[in-house]
Amino acid sequence: MILAADVAGYSRLMERDEEDTHERLQKLLRDVIRPAVGSHRGRIFKTAGDGLFVEFASAIEAVRCAVDLQRAIAERNEGVALDRRLAFRIGINLGDVLSDQEDLFGDCVNVAARLESMTEPGGVFISHSVYDHVDRKLPLRFDDQGDCTLKNIARPIRVYKVCWDEKPQVDSATPLELPQLASIAVLPFVTSSNDREQEYFAEGLAEDLITDLSKVKGLLVIAAHSSLAYKDRSIDLRRIAAQLGVRYLVEGSVRRAQTRTRINTQLIDATHGNCLWAERFDRDLADIFALQDEVVSKVVAALAGTLPAARPAPSHRTTNLQAYDLFVRGRALATQSLRETRLARPLLSRAIEIDPEFAGAHAWLAMSHHFDALYYESETVEHRAFARVAAERAVEIDSENADAHIVLGYLRAYEGEFEAGIAQFEHGLRLNPNHAEGWSLLADLRVFQGRATEAVESAENAFRLNPSPPGDYYSFLGWAQYAARRYQEAVATLRQPQAGGPGSKRNLAAALARLGLIDEARATACDFLSEFPNFSAAQWGSTQPFVDDNDRQHFIEGYAMADLPK
């Protein structure tokens, strides 16, 4: 029985403060992990930087140990700033192992490591072999994740998520209600090698198809963040469709070799499991851009009965393959952590140097600076200026680029051109009504307009388009719920462990205070101030573009009730 564990985001933590991170990890190993492993009769047989492998004789003891560890680590993280928390991911597998002195290796160890890499921070995944030994023997819930294809593991592995929280949880596998309009998700395209460049190319192709389909009238399209999360997971298509709340799925494979590319793709009606359309394309690599348009056209044609009047929107792409390769790599980095967001910019800038008329690269360069301005305090003014220049250039090149209009409209609203900015932002959403990030940001702007109920609706629409969203979606929804005086809902949203962004704890403190939970509000406020010690409610309020000052005061008063500095 092998347990594999490592620290999520360890490289980012080390980059921020190497000495502090190392000391805290060693203390955690000494005070929590080693004692827990010993009490459950386990043996740590390998450590490597931020990770460790543990051998157990009993599946029950291995799972108990994993849950005890995650509970203890979660308790220690209370009161620690989000960007300093040490959160472990754990995978457990049962099977034969080979030994070499004190070390163990083999397929069982490899599978445990792959399971660990799949789970979320603070979570535990187990294989079916472990599940068979612990089901109904522990006071835990095991959520079936389906058969998953693990990297470099030949056979699919059935995976279960271990759930131990006594509080009621929303089951991520609960089917979403199908919308009235046609609904579709593009799944990750499979590659035939472990070459990262091939993976970038396949991910870029899938994301471009999502973008193009998102512009088709009458079609609900799931955002890339949720649909591409199924990468390396072999799950029944009907189950995926139920989790995403869609009727149709696009899936396929990509193989790129020298100057040729082969793409196999098909359109599935997941309600019946029927294949509506399938085709294989063997083309020169230089034809990839025309090929993307052709695939979208054929998907729309296959849905003619559901979308009788739909036509693919015209696309504006680069025709330079080198610029495109740089672009897809940069886009993949742009929405990740601060470090990766900044790493994206040289790639996007290089793509623009190669093709100055590449509107998508200009738009995503604007997005990268915009994310820095939105979520990080340093150099906010500079990032907004860079974002605005890039977004204006993207709109100038391609007036149909929704990303550019949304970023530019948001910036204009924050910079004093509120009505014009809102109009431009809404134009971007008309160009791409499936822009989940756009709907989430619109919730922010609706709060400033004093239209709190619509703000909540916008945020909820973002969740529908992106059922497994990044943390800022929770932040914007909680902000909108607070503005709408729905404090209980705001607390439930902002207490979610995924909730991220500077405003989450600040607004949670205010909502708790409004409910009379003053001690918890003050504790949350202290936690917020540990991250933002220079916060002033009045100074914050002076930078926010509220149309009605009463709405501004509603937030400032809530912060004061939680003892945040005026």
Residue range 467-516, pLDDT digits in tens? 988 888 899 999 999 999 999 999 999 988 778 767 889 999 999 999 99
Residues 6+ apart with CB under 8 A from 477: 440, 443, 456, 459, 460, 462, 463, 493
Containing structural domain, residue 33: 2-163
Taking the C-alpha atoms of residue 299 and residue 278, their distance in angstroms, rounded to an integer, is 9
Q: 90 with 117: CB under 8 angstroms?
A: no
Three-class secondary structure of residue 542 per DSSP: helix
Q: Are residues 200 and 89 in the same domain?
A: no
Give the pLDDT confidence score for residue 337 in this predicted structure.
55
Long-range contacts from 130-133, C-beta under 8 angstroms, 24+ separation: 130/1, 130/59, 130/62, 130/63, 130/92, 130/93, 130/94, 130/160, 131/158, 131/160, 133/59, 133/60, 133/94
By the 10 Å C-beta count (0-12 exposed, 13-18 middle, 19+ buried), 75 is classed as exposed
- Output the six-digit token pair for 385: 């200026």
The domain boundary residue, chosen from 163, 192, 217: 163
Which of 260, 282, 313 is a domain's end point? 313
The residue among 489, 426, 425 whose CA lies nearest residue 452 is: 489
**Predicted local distance difference test score (pLDDT) of residue 355:** 94
Question: Does residue 352 form part of some domain?
Answer: no
**264-270, long-range: CB within 8 Å, 24+ apart, which pairs?**
265/189, 265/295, 267/299, 267/302, 267/303, 268/237, 270/237, 270/238, 270/240, 270/241, 270/242, 270/246
Both 17 and 69 in a single domain? Answer: yes
Q: Tell me, yes or no, whether 137 and 76 share the same domain.
A: yes
Within-domain flag for 472? no
Secondary structure (DSSP) of 339-399: HHHHHHHHHHHHHHHH-TT-HHHHHHHHHHHHHHHHH--TTHHHHHHHHHHHHHHHHHH-T
Give me the phi and psi of 415, to 5 degrees please: -100, 15
Q: Domain check: are 129 and 87 in the same one?
A: yes
Q: What angle do CA 8, 9, 14 make, to 5 degrees?
A: 125
Whether residue 26 is found in the same domain as residue 91: yes
Q: What is the pTM of this model?
A: 0.67
Looking at the fold, whether 152 and 10 belong to one and the same domain comes out as yes
Residue 205 covered by a domain: yes
How do 182-186 and 248-257 pair as beta strands?
A: parallel
> For 396-419, what is each residue's pLDDT tens digit?
999 999 989 998 999 899 888 999
| Residues 40 and 108 occupy one common structural domain | yes
Q: What is the CA 343 to chain-centroid distance, rounded?
A: 18
pLDDT of residue 173: 43
With H, G, I as helix, E, B as strand and everything else as coil, classify residue 157. Answer: strand
Structural domain includes residue 111: yes
The parts of the chain modelled with pLDDT lower than 70 are 82-83, 99-102, 105, 151-152, 154, 165-176, 180, 192-197, 232-234, 307-316, 335-340, 374-378, 501
Query: 144 and 223: one domain?
Result: no
Assigned domain for 459 exists: no
457: buried, middle or exposed (CB in 10 Å: 19+, 13-18, 0-12)? middle
Q: What letter would DSSP give residue 313?
A: P
Q: How many domains does the chain have?
A: 2
Residues 104 and 60 in one domain: yes
Position 255 scores a pLDDT of 85
Which CATH number is 148's domain given?
3.30.70.1230
Most distant CA pair in the chain, distance: 71
Tell me which H or E stretch contains 272: none
What CATH number should be reported for the domain holding residue 259?
3.40.50.10610
Domain boundary among 313, 335, 365: 313
Q: What is the 3-state secondary structure (H, E, C) of 118-147?
A: HCCCCCEEEEHHHHHHHCCCCCCEEEEEEE
Do residue 139 and residue 7 come from a single domain?
Answer: yes
148 plus 233 within the same structural domain: no
Are residues 44 and 85 both part of a single domain? yes
